[in-house]
Amino acid sequence: MSLSTAAQSLTWTYVDGDWHEGNVALVGPRSHAMWLGSSVFDGARWFENVSPDLDLHCERVNRSATALGLGPSKSAEEIVGLTLDGLKKFDGRTAVYIRPMYWAEHGGYMGVPADPDSTRFCLCLYESPMIASSGFSVTVSPFRRPTIETMPTNAKAGCLYPNNGRAILEAKGRGFDNALVLDMLGNVAETGSSNIFMVKDGVAFTPVANGTFLSGITRARTISLLAEGGIKTVEKALTVRDFMDADEIFSTGNHSKVVPVTRIEDRHLQAGPVAKKARELYWDFAHSG
Ligand code: PMP
C-alpha cells in the first residue's frame, strides 16, 4: 500500500504546535493507540461560513478523553481557536470536517490501560462536501450496541466503531445503506453513524439516552429547534415496530445534519414534512450565530 495522500482530499493537521499538510504520520507500532485502541475523537463541520455547535464538539472530545482514561491537554476554547486558525488554509467554499483527537502513546499499569501522561492531541481538518438530503434506507442490524459494562460507551472512542462498521457492512450486503442498531434490551438505539428520530401523528420521537449510544449534539439541537418550532419530541424506549409504523423517520448527526430515511426494510417512506422542517430549522440556526 502506498503512503501517498493523493487520493485524500485537502487535509491539514495541527500537532505539537504546527500545522502539517496531508495525512501526517503520527503513530508507530509501539503507540498504545495503534496497538490497543486508546483513541477518542469528535466531529464537527464547517460549511457555508458557519460551524454550528463547534464549542460543544470541542468540549465533548475532552470529556471522551477523560472517560477513556486519557489526559486531555487543551481547553475547548483552545481547540475552537485552533480550528478557526486552520480553516484559513481552506478555500472558504468547500465544506470541511473538523476532527480533534486524543490518543495514548504508552500503556500505563500492566501496559493495558493508557498512560494518561502520554496523551497526545491532534486536530485534523479536511475537505468533505455536505451530502444531498435525498434520503437513505435502513434495515435492522443483527449486531447490537454494547452496554457501559462491556464497552466505554461514555466516550466517542475509535474502539466503538468496528461494531458500527460491521453493522453498516452487513446492511450493505443486504442492499441497504445503513442499519438500525438495537441496544441489548432490544430497543432501537441509533444507526451505524447517526441518531434516529421517527414521527407519528405530528409528534417526533427519539430513543431515550440510556448510555448505550451516543446521545448526539445534533440530536439535542434538533430536539430544541423542533420545540421552538412547535413540534414536541418524546424521548422514550422505541421498538422496531414503532419505527415500522412511523409516518416519518429521519436521522441526525454532525456530518450530514438532518437526513430523511426513505425505506425501512421493504417499506418505502416519504421524505416527510417534519424532517424537512428540522433540516430547515437547523440551517436557520446554523446561520443565526
Ligand atoms: N451516533 C454515532 C454512532 C455517530 O457516529 C454520530 C456522529 N458523530 C452520532 C450518533 C451523532 O452525533 P453528533 O450529532 O454529536 O455528531
Give which of 180, 254, 191 is closest to 217, Cα–Cα.
254
How many CB atoms lie under 10 A from the CB of residue 174?
10
| CA dist., res. 177 & res. 169, Å (int) | 9
Indicate if ligand 1 lies below 6 Å from the C-beta of 64: no
Atom of ligand 1 nearest to the CA of 160: 3
Which of 42, 156, 194 has most ligand 1 atoms within 8 Å of its beta carbon, as the pocket-test mutant? 194
User: How many angstroms is it from 160 CA to the middle of ligand 1?
Assistant: 12
What does the angle CA 192 – CA 261 – CA 225 come to, to the nearest 5 degrees?
90
Query: With a 6 A CB cut-off, is 214 part of the ligand 1 pocket?
Result: yes
Cell 494518561 identifies what position? 116
Q: Which residue in the block uniquely carries the three cell numbers 443483527?
A: 142
The reported pLDDT for the residue numbered 1 is: 45
φ and ψ at residue 187, rounded to 5 degrees: -90, 155
Per-residue pLDDT, 132: 86
pLDDT at 201: 97
Residue nearest to atom 13 of ligand 1 (CA): 216
CA 192 to ligand 1 centroid distance, Å:
9
Q: Is 87 helix (H, G, I), strand (E, B) or coil?
A: helix
Tell me how far the alpha carbon of residue 31 lies from the centroid of ligand 1, in angstroms.
26
CB contact at 8 A, 175 and 226: no
Name the CA dihedral angle for 272, 279, 284, 193, rounded to a multiple of 10 degrees: 170
* Whether 70 contacts 104, CB under 8 Å: yes
Q: Does ligand 1 lie within 6 Å of residue 43's CB atom? A: yes
Residue ranges of the chain whose pLDDT lies below 70: 1-6
Q: Are 205 and 234 within 8 A, CB to CB?
A: yes
Q: What is the pLDDT of residue 104?
A: 98
256 Cβ below 6 A of ligand 1: no
- Grid cell digits, residue 9: 482530499
Identify the residue whose C-alpha is closest to ligand 1 atom 12. Answer: 216
Give the per-residue pLDDT at 7.
77
Q: Using the mean position of ligand 1's atoms as its centre, give its distance from the Cα of residue 275 in Å.
A: 17
Contact between 199 and 243 (Cβ < 8 Å): no
Nearest-atom index, ligand 1, CA of 161: 3
Ligand 1 atom closest to Cα of residue 254: 16
Ligand 1 center to 86 CA (angstroms)? 23
- CB-based contacts of 252: which residues, under 8 Å, 6+ apart? 194, 195, 196, 197, 216, 218, 219, 221, 222, 258, 278
- DSSP calls for 183-237: -TTS-EEEESSSEEEEEETTEEEEEPP-SSS---HHHHHHHHHHHHTT--EEEE-
So what's the pLDDT on residue 2? 46
Side-chain half-sphere exposure of 14, counting CA atoms within 13 A: 21
Give the global pTM.
0.96
